[in-house]
């Protein structure tokens, strides 16, 4: 009996020893290996600034451990790219083991040195994955873009920005009193999260229909390129005056254009002509006891499109003010909010004229797109002259002249699921066509001539 017991005990211990043997490595070149990407493409990267990090995975689809001889960045130490394999940063990693069904993560980023090129230039490299002589490559591609880098700057003399390279702005850009910044057609401003434009003096950004001036966030990679509140916005302070934004595109800011204070002059504090203010997290236009004139402007898909507080003087002509649910912003505030009081309850005179404009939104989130709060005894005049609007209960303090209430303007293309918004009119029989009153403005936001009976909104029917 003891001999039989010893025999089975010996078999048991032999089984344990065999099961504890190290699992053999699969070093055959025909083993199953899955690489998740064959090419990593980076969006445009400004020189000297690092990119976001991308990655791919290498997966062992076998039942045995897999040994990869090496993973190598072919450009070596001179490459613009940086390589990190499962947390280890080096241009060459040797003998990487992957358990059955497991993966290795390979992370890649890129920092591109400046060059003499004005246009974006392509920077390539590749990663070699070698498994006992079986070689596979992952290609790396990025476009580098030289730029002017503006770091927390105060402009204290008249200055002109030329359209030669983009401008990348970190920290506040301040235009001091008695100083003017002129931005020429085609200039592109890319602004970081802390890059508010503070105007104490004068800002004149003058684009054209073919070469607009653009203000947007600095992130160009997918998703982030459309993220609202990517940068603070443009702020015209109390003593600022004679500001002009023409053919400008202001996108993805926290607040688009903020004007504070009345300059006490007959000319507006801010003149906006042929501007698009889009995808702004808070107010597209915020005016506090100020003076703004806007012509042929589109203010679209903002948290609150236009907010007027503490009175002031305003003239909006041929403007389209629209709010739709978009990828990042749900439409839940009125398109137009007007108050003649400040935060302390003090009332101020208000004079606001909206002529040949469209106020429209989609869905049932907001039944009344016009909100008004009038208090005190200060003069108060708000006029809708030939305006198409959406509001079940238009405030009684608004004087109306030939208005169109609650009729869909039938924009050319709106697809909220695909984030497509084209606010032209003419594809369908829009009630805005020919519904305006003649004024001395001869073209629309596209630079197209306005002929015949005027159409409402920033775009004339072709």
User: Of 391, 428, 393, nearest to 411 (Cα)?
Assistant: 428
238: pLDDT strictly greater than 60: yes
**Bridge partner list, 359:** 321
Q: Which helix (H) or strand (E) holds 336?
A: strand 336-339
Q: What is the mean pLDDT of residues 115-133?
A: 88
For the chain, count helices (H), then strands (E): 1, 39
Same fold, 25-144 and 147-422: no
User: Could you identify the residue written with the tokens 């924009």?
Assistant: 411
Confidence of residue 48 (pLDDT cuts 50, 70, 90): confident
Checking if the pLDDT of 51 tops 90, the result is no
As a whole number, mean pLDDT of residues 214-239 equals 91
Average pLDDT of the chain is 91
The pair phi, psi for residue 57, each rounded to 5°, is -120, 150
pLDDT band at 120 (very low <50, low <70, confident <90, very high): confident
Share of residues in the chain with pLDDT > 90 (%):
78
348 versus 219: the higher-pLDDT residue is: 348
Q: What is the DSSP string of 294-330?
A: EES-EEES-SEEEEEEEEEEEEEES-EEEE---SS--
Rounded CA gap, 202 and 134, in Å?
64
Which band of pLDDT confidence, cut at 50, 70 and 90, is reported for residue 63?
A: confident
Res 8: pLDDT: 43
pLDDT at 11: 46
Give tens-digit pLDDT for 310-323.
999 999 999 999 99
Q: Helix, strand or coil for residue 49? A: coil
Q: CATH assignment of 147-422?
A: 2.160.20
| Domain 25-144 bears CATH identifier 3.40.50.720 | no
How much is the pLDDT for 94? 95
For residue range 8-47, list pLDDT tens digits in order. 444 444 444 444 444 554 555 446 789 999 999 988 888 8
Mean pLDDT of 45-72: 90
Q: Which of 4-8, 131-135, 289-293 has the highest mean pLDDT?
A: 289-293
Spatial neighbors of 1 by CB under 8 A, at least 6 apart, are none
> CA-to-CA distance for 122 and 110, rounded, in angstroms?
12
User: Is residue 68's pLDDT more than 60?
Assistant: yes
Residue showing tokens 């403005």: 441
For residue 58, the model assigns a pLDDT of: 96
Mean pLDDT, rounded, for 379-385: 98
CA–CA distance, 172 with 192 (Å, rounded to integer) = 9
Q: What is the pLDDT of residues 404-455, one digit of tens each?
A: 999 999 999 999 989 899 999 999 999 999 999 999 999 999 999 998 889 9
Q: How confident is the model at residue 240 (pLDDT cuts 50, 70, 90)?
A: very high
DSSP of 170-226: EEEEEE-TT-EEEE-TT-EEEE-TT--EEESSEEEEE--SSS-EEEEES--STTGGG
Segment 339-343 shows an average pLDDT of 95
Structure tokens given for 407? 């009729």
Which residue ranges make up each domain of the chain? 25-144, 147-422
Distance between CA atoms of residues 146 and 114, nearest Å: 6
Given a contact cutoff of 8 angstroms between Cβ atoms, the answer to whether 98 and 23 are in contact is no
Predicted structure pTM score: 0.85
What was the pLDDT predicted at 28?
A: 53
Tell me the C-alpha distance between 173 and 152, whole Å: 6
Quick count: other Cβ atoms within 10 Å of Cβ 367? 12
Q: Which residue has the higher pLDDT, 266 or 461?
A: 461
310 within 8 A of 346, measured Cβ to Cβ: yes
């Amino acid at each position: 009996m003891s001999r039989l017991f010893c025999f089975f005990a010996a078999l048991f211990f032999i089984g344990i020893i065999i099961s504890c043997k190290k699992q053999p490595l699969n070093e055959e070149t025909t083993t199953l290996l899955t690489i998740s990407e064959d090419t990593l493409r980076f969006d445009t990267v400004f020189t000297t600034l690092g990119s976001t990090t991308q990655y791919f995975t290498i997966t062992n689809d076998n039942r045995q451990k897999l040994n990869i001889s090496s993973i190598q960045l072919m450009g070596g130490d001179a490459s613009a790219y940086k390589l990190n394999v499962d947390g280890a940063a080096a241009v060459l990693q040797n003998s990487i083991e992957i358990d059955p069904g497991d993966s290795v993560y390979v992370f890649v980023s890129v920092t591109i040195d400046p060059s003499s090129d004005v246009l974006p230039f392509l920077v390539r490299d590749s990663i070699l994955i070698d498994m006992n002589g079986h070689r596979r490559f992952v290609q790396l591609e990025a476009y580098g873009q030289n730029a002017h880098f503006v770091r927390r700057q105060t402009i204290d003399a008249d200055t002109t920005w030329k359209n030669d390279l983009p401008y990348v702005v970190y920290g506040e850009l301040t235009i001091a009193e008695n100083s003017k910044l002129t931005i020429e057609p085609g200039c592109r401003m890319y602004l970081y999260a802390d890059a508010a434009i503070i105007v104490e003096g004068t800002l004149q950004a003058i684009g054209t229909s073919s070469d607009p001036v653009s203000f947007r966030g600095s992130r160009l990679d997918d998703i982030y390129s459309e993220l609202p509140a990517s940068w603070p916005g443009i702020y015209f302070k109390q003593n600022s005056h004679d500001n002009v934004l023409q053919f400008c595109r202001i996108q993805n800011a926290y607040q688009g254009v903020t004007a504070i204070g009345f300059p006490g002059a007959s000319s507006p504090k801010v003149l906006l002509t042929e501007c698009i203010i889009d995808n702004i997290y808070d107010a597209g236009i915020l005016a506090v006891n100020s003076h703004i004139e806007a012509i042929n402007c589109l203010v679209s898909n903002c948290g609150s499109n236009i907010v007027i507080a503490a009175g002031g003087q305003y003239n909006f002509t041929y403007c389209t003010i629209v709010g739709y649910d978009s990828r990042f912003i749900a439409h839940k505030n009125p398109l137009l909010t007007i108050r003649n009081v400040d935060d302390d309850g003090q009332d101020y005179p208000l004079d606001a004229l909206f002529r040949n404009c469209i106020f429209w939104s989609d869905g049932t989130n907001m039944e009344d797109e016009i909100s008004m709060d009038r208090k005190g005894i200060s003069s108060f005049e708000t006029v809708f002259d030939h305006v198409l609007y959406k509001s079940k209960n238009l405030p009684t303090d608004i004087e109306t002249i030939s208005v169109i209430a609650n009729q869909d303007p039938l924009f050319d293309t709106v697809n909220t699921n695909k984030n497509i918004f084209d606010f032209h009119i003419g594809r369908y029989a829009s009630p805005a066509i020919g519904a305006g009153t003649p004024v001395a403005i001869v073209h629309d936001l596209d630079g197209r001539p306005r002929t015949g009976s005027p159409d409402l909104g920033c775009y004339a029917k072709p």
